[in-house]
A and B are shown apart, each in its own frame.
Chain A
Amino acid sequence: MSDKSKSIANKNNINQDERLKKVSPLRVLLNRPELGALGGSILVFIFFGIVAGDTGMFSAYGTLNFLDVSANLGIIAIAAAMLMIGGEFDLSIGSMIGFAGICIAIPAIYWGWPLWMSIIFAFSMAVLVGYFNGILVVRTGLPSFIVTLAMLFILRGLTLAITRLITGRTQVPGLRVLIEDDPIAWIFATDTFKGLFNWLGSMNLIALRTDGTPLATGIPPSVLWFVGLTILATYILMKTRYGNWIFAAGGDKNGATNVGVPVGRVKISLFIGTAVASTIFATIQVLDAGSADTMRGTLKELEAIAAAVVGGCLLTGGYGSAIGAAFGALIFGTVSMGIFYTDVDTDWFKVFLGAMMLIAVIFNNYIRRKVTESK
């Protein structure tokens, strides 16, 4: 080929989409925020596969157990991740969980409301709390860290005070009998794929109880919520205009405002998102336990933020992913359950949690520098 035709060929190449192939797959992967959490999850599974492979951790029952714990954390971690991408924090997640719990239990037990009405009431309160958090942050311009820290105390205090005022105690039991025949409660309280598990049991593929029913009865509702919310959040972030606004609002508030992104509305909606996710978490747990506890959800906000950070969210906003947060939650859930199957004392879990987060932050910081590096 002559030099001239070569240069023309090169030129054509530049003008076509084939350029995309020049970027190595590794580089594309490195640019994804969820890389760290994905790698971390694989490492965690390899580790427990070696250490606890023959202990029943990965039996149907054991697997559903750690998936359930991961899923519960994941539900709030995904909402926290979306809010963090939008550039804000919500420290009131844990308190909102406790508050939502008694918003369901007290009306249902003490005021004689049907359970479905109590659940709707709890979600309405969540929207109000989220809106209040959001409007306060947007209007005052104060850091959301402080505003929601205040809300952490206010909500927990309200939960305790109201519960003791009405019931004279700090727990509200007796919900289990109300779940049957309720038109809404099943959404938060039904194990699914029971037939499959019965069949697996009858084929002797999974462990059975002494009465012949399988030990693992079905997929817990938290897992389906978790998967559903991960898909929904990823769809919103990657595929919608609103998703682009979330990245923009967190990446550069002023710039986004200047080009017409309704930053305030986006942030308020994300605060509503975390409060609603907390309420989903609370509803599932309250219906599962059959009781509400005023201290439920304590410190969950920090676990949710930790999972989001391990999942690649930057503390400064504008970067992160819902899938990453989902893997972050999976790591924490797997380790917190897996540790029971090893000889390691469970006291070490928190050490792991902290160390994992530290490594994630350092790693993410490095990745961000890579991504934004000038030519």
Chain B
Amino acid sequence: MTDAPFTAALLKSADAVESPLRRALRRLMRRKGAIFGLAIIVLFLAIAIFAPLLTPYDPIVQSWTAVRKPPSALHWFGTDDLGRDILVRVFYGARASLMAGVISVGIALAIGVPLGLAAGTLGGFFDALIGRLTDAMLACPFLILASALAACRGPSLGNAMIAIGVTTTPIFVRLTRGQVLAVNVEEYVAAARAIGNPRWRIALVHILPNILPALLVQATLSIAAAIIAEASLSFLGLGQQPPDPSWGSMLNSAQRFLINAPWMAVWPGLAIFLTVLSFNLVGDGLRDALNPREN
């Protein structure tokens, strides 16, 4: 029942027995960019999880005799302005970045999808209300909301994630609502309605599974944006608080030493670039792989 939208495509397809999931995976694996992105993401995930095992240094212990040393056999990425090993800080920074990406998008999904589903299925006044609310939220710039939140709750990584999550929410509300409206007119939904299913059951069992692909693609792309957002907030001092490392705050302290100690900026910058690029590549790959009209 759940794979109904694919039925038409499946019948035309030569290998009619292949499940949609398997087909999507097969298509994804054909894309070199997506595979590269996936590999990098897995690598960074592994680094984030096993950070303490990978290096002998501590990310916050300062060494005042080894301040701003260039990359060497001892410190592969060099040391920062307070004599801390940059490699280990980039490793621990991966934790902050990936966590911020996943959790803030998780928040956005948790709030946005139910609201979008409700707005799409209920329609009427509730739909109009949610529509206006999302409009209002989209009108509020993310940095201003984040600063306001930091001002009243104090700056921290947790609050940064909330701010990013809340500002990402309207995207998911709109996407979910749009998808629901598109799927609502499908025959299988009409059939489910005809049998007498309650509205919540239609929404959760018949509609939601069929709009998941679109949400998955958007979530992946949003993670990339959330990682950039976390880096920006930490750069501005509104995210991760010192001494805990974050790629954004590392860039902020590197700013003063662009000429004297460029390695301080290069590594965290490269890390942000690579993870964001990877999530975007995977997102693009997923979008193509999950598109039923494309073979």
Is A bound to B? no
- Residues of B bordering A, CB below 8 Å: none
- Residues of A bordering B, CB below 8 Å: none
